[in-house]
């Protein structure tokens, strides 16, 4: 019965997801000129047909060129791009799924090979080295409005929700992280100050989409430049990080972890995952994610290393104990678009894992 509970619907504001499975956002760079084509619509349609209740798209660039590169990453600006996304949304809806657009600003991690200067809180990268330029305080309201405009456009196109990308060392996460936020104004210093701009982005998005449209916020401890990085070292700091985002209008929190079953804080007697602690300190709807359906490391120091995969029973146990409301699956869905339906039908044969490299190859 516990497994069956994962196939029950969930309603958040105007969104009703038919089950508790989401497709995690994964960048593909497969939209020439930022325009998602028929192949992109088919890519997402197959996962919806395979049983995924909520599709979270790959990162979608904001309209400012500094927000992302290469330009084969899709955008929500221009008639051609919007027509492309309409086809994607319609294809997912036709299969009974729902879909959220992930809004993405790469910040200091943006590739500058085209001559565009990356922007970030302090003009340094995740290793502390100078990169790009620091944003001026008077630029921040306009930047928040870029997120808001993209969110409103997503709603007009027919998306069921939006996700704000605040994880993995990209722009909003650069504000959270002490290593990349060296500011001495009201947006730097204490954890509450470092949370201020991401919360202002959320507030701008909420004002743009209205009271009933769901806002998801993805955050992480780990960064692309440092898997051991941490923003919150204990549950109290996690609460201080997330509470301003919830107050600003976030409905769903999506803590990105490399393995969903690993305890969030060393020495924690409760042994809760980051999703579990996120749920406990905020009471919000939570999406768990991290190596569901994988049996090898992804981008580890030892490629191909077996990672002691967690069986589906462990996932069910965490769900039953209230650690999360939705589970996002990434690379396993690349390798097998029908993974969710096969789990429902008992065709997985217990744990059925995929090699991370094989799953990545399916991105193409």
Catalytic residues: 170
β-pairing verdict for 10-12 and 15-17: antiparallel
Residues with Cβ < 8 Å from 171, sequence gap 6 or more? 67, 105, 106, 107, 108, 119, 120
Supply the DSSP symbol for 33. Answer: G
Cα 135 to the center of its chain, rounded Å: 24
User: Token digits for 109?
Assistant: 């991690």
Cα diameter, the chain? 56
Place of tokens 């190596």: 291
Three-state DSSP class for 212?
A: coil
- The CA distance from 44 to 121, in Å, is 34
- The CA distance from 127 to 351, in Å, is 38
Contact 18, 9 (CB under 8 A): yes
CB atoms within 10 A of CB 263: 15
């Amino acid at each position: 019965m516990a497994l069956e509970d994962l196939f029950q619907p969930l309603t958040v504001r105007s969104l009703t997801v038919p089950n508790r499975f989401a497709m995690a956002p994964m960048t593909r760079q497969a939209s020439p000129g930022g325009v998602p084509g028929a192949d992109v619509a088919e890519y997402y349609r197959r996962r919806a047909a395979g049983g995924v209740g909520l599709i979270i798209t790959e990162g979608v660039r904001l309209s400012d060129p500094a927000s992302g590169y290469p330009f084969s990453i899709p955008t929500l600006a221009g008639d051609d791009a919007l027509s492309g996304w309409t086809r994607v949304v319609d294809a997912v809806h036709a299969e009974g799924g729902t879909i959220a657009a992930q809004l993405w600003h790469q910040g200091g991690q943006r590739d500058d090979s085209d001559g565009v200067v990356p922007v970030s809180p302090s003009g340094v990268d995740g290793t502390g080295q100078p990169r790009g330029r620091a944003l001026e305080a008077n630029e921040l309201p306009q930047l928040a409005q870029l997120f808001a405009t993209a969110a409103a456009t997503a709603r007009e196109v027919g998306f069921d929700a939006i996700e704000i990308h605040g994880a993995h060392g990209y722009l909003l996460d650069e504000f959270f992280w002490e290593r990349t936020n060296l500011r001495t104004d009201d947006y730097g210093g204490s954890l509450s100050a470092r949370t201020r701009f991401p919360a202002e982005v959320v507030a701008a998005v909420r004002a743009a989409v209205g009271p009933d449209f769901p806002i998801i916020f993805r955050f992480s401890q780990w960064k692309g430049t440092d898997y051991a990085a941490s923003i919150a070292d204990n549950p109290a700091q996690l609460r201080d990080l997330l509470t301003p985002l919830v107050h600003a209008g976030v409905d769903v929190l999506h803590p990105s972890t490399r393995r969903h079953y690993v305890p969030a804080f060393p020495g924690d007697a409760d042994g809760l995952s980051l999703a579990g602690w996120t749920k406990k300190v905020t009471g919000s709807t939570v999406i768990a994610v991290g190596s569901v359906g994988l049996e090898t490391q992804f981008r580890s120091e030892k490629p191909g290393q077996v990672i002691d995969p967690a069986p589906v029973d462990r996932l069910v146990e965490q769900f039953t104990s209230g650690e999360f409301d939705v589970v996002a699956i990434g690379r396993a869905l690349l390798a097998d678009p029908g993974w969710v339906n096969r789990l429902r039908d008992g065709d997985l044969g217990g744990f059925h894992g995929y090699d991370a490299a094989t799953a990545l190859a399916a991105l193409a």
